[in-house]
């Protein structure tokens, strides 16, 4: 089987909903990043573009984005929808195609616009249709429930199941913003970010967040619940892509890779407790390689909720300095389908920052599916 490498990648700044990217179509936001990426790495002979999108207008929006970017019509581009895990799944699929020898160069990632998320309408013959509210924004992810706040409810159930304390969740809210602000001040991520339109910073990072502000926030799910606007990520706009290639492509083009993708894993979990899939799939990935958490230099988990952080910390109390070293989605935000590629780019920078060897990205997706990727820094 072919070895699979990461050449590099690029992301946009991450905008908050109705922020700097509020008037930019998601396919055009993705196209701008894709154009910059192809120019920066002087890419030729692209075999495929695999791209996640969860809340766009539907259709093969990745193909539309590719054409807007000026990519040759001969290059196929197609859309993946695994919700929060779409970007990670796109990388996973690209890995499999190159590893099997079917392709040599694939661009994978995702793009999203919460600002321009359309309302979708049920057909009147659909039993879920209601004259009072005929439209929906959040799809049904499991047969057990169909509510707009299903992801918040899943996080709340996990907090209750593990008897999490407010102090544990608050720690990660403050820590995520602190680490992200430090990374921004040190300009660690500058070479993987491109400005689109008037963007010049990630809008979600709060320099002045403090315990008093967190304490003012009311629970979002139930009166005595744990999940608040602080310990859940914002909805965002953004785009990110990673370049994957074969060893043959590297040799033929005399270029140097950033890392090797060693293994990927997908694992289902109870959809009512979807954040749990982050730990379940990471356990599975490490088991498949006969490795331990302590063998990994850096972890990048998609920090959709602080409950994910607390589960990791309880399992690995001595490894929290290796976890989301540059901050997580509680600070940067979570542009759904772009997040898998964003955290992969952050992982590459984290490994460089700590001079580490092995790294893991993990995303817990709606419906209870965990996606995890193990890489080895070159």
**CATH (domain of 247):** 3.40.47.10
User: Which structural domain, as residue segments, surrounds residue 48?
Assistant: 4-118+235-253
pLDDT of residue 223: 86
Would residue 33 count as lying in a domain? Answer: yes
| Average pLDDT across the chain, whole number | 96
* DSSP state letter for 233: P
How high is the pLDDT of residue 253? Answer: 94
Q: 361 exposed, middle or buried (CB, 10 Å; 0-12, 13-18, 19+)?
A: buried
The pLDDT value recorded for residue 312 is 98
**Residue at 263 is within a domain:** no
How much is the pTM? 0.97
Q: Give the pLDDT score at 72.
A: 97
Does 171 have pLDDT greater than 90?
Answer: yes
Q: Is residue 286 part of a domain?
A: no
Q: What is the dihedral of CA 201, 106, 297, 282, to 10 degrees?
A: 100
**pLDDT above 90: percentage of residues in the chain:** 92
* pLDDT(141) > 90: no
At residue 102, the pLDDT reads: 97
In a 13 Å sphere around the CA of 98, the CA atoms on its Cβ side amount to 32
Q: How many CA atoms lie within 13 A of 64 on its CB side?
A: 15
Whether residue 365 contacts residue 84, with contact meaning beta carbons closer than 8 Å, is answered with yes
Does a structural domain hold residue 170? no
**pLDDT exceeds 90 at position 145:** no
Residue 36 lies in a domain: yes
Cβ neighbourhood burial of 137 (10 Å; 0-12, 13-18, 19+): exposed
Kindly state the tokens that stand for 34. Answer: 């894709």
- Name the domain count of the chain: 1
| Chain segment 256-307, per-residue pLDDT in tens | 999 999 999 999 999 999 999 999 999 999 999 999 999 999 999 999 999 9
Q: Tokens standing for 370?
A: 């965990």
Q: Is residue 134 one of the residues assigned to a domain?
A: no
Asked, for residue 77, whether it belongs to a domain, the answer is yes
* pLDDT value, residue 144: 85
Is 12 domain-assigned? yes
Residue of 49, 86, 79, 81 whose CA lies nearest to 61: 79
pLDDT in tens, 175-205: 999 999 999 999 999 999 999 999 999 999 9
Whether residue 142 is predicted with pLDDT greater than 90 in this model: the reply is no
Angle between the N-to-C axes of helices 26-40 and 61-68, in degrees from 0 to 180, rounded to the nearest 10: 50
For residue range 306-346, list pLDDT tens digits in order: 999 999 999 999 999 999 999 999 999 999 999 999 999 99
């Amino acid at each position: 089987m072919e070895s699979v490498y990461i050449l590099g990648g690029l992301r946009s700044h991450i905008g908050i909903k109705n922020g700097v990217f509020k008037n930019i179509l998601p396919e055009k936001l993705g196209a701008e990043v894709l154009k910059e990426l192809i120019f920066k790495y002087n890419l030729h002979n692209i075999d495929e573009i695999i791209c996640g999108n969860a809340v766009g207008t539907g259709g093969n929006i990745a193909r539309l984005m590719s054409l807007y970017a000026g990519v040759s019509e001969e290059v196929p581009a197609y859309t993946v929808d695994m919700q929060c895990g779409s970007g990670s799944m796109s990388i996973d699929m690209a890995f499999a195609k190159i590893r099997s020898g079917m392709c040599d160069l694939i661009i994978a990632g995702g793009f999203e616009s919460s600002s321009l998320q359309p309302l979708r309408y049920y057909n009147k013959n659909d039993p879920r249709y209601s004259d009072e509210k005929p439209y929906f924004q959040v799809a049904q992810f499991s047969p057990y429930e169909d509510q707009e706040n299903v992801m918040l409810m899943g996080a709340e159930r996990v907090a209750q199941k593990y008897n999490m304390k407010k102090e544990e969740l608050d720690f990660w809210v403050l820590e995520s913003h602190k680490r992200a602000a430090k990374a921004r001040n040190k300009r660690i991520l500058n070479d993987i970010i491109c400005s689109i339109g008037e963007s010049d910073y990630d809008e979600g990072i709060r320099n002045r967040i403090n315990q008093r502000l967190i304490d003012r926030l009311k629970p979002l799910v139930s009166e005595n619940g744990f999940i608040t606007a602080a310990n859940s990520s914002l909805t965002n706009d953004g785009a990110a892509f990673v370049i994957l290639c074969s060893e043959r492509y590297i040799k033929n083009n005399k270029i140097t890779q950033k890392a090797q993708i060693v293994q990927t894993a997908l694992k289902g979990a109870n959809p009512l407790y979807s954040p749990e899939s982050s730990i379940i799939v990471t356990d599975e990935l490490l088991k498949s390689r006969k490795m331990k958490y302590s063998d990994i230099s850096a972890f990048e988990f998609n920090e959709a909720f602080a409950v994910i952080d607390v589960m990791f910390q309880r399992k690995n109390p001595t490894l929290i300095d290796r976890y989301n070293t540059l901050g997580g989605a509680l600070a940067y935000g979570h542009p759904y389908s772009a997040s898998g590629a964003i955290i992969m780019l952050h992982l590459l920078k984290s490994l460089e920052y700590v001079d580490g060897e092995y790294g893991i990205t993990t995303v817990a997706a709606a419906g209870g599916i965990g996606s995890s990727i193990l890489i080895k820094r070159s």
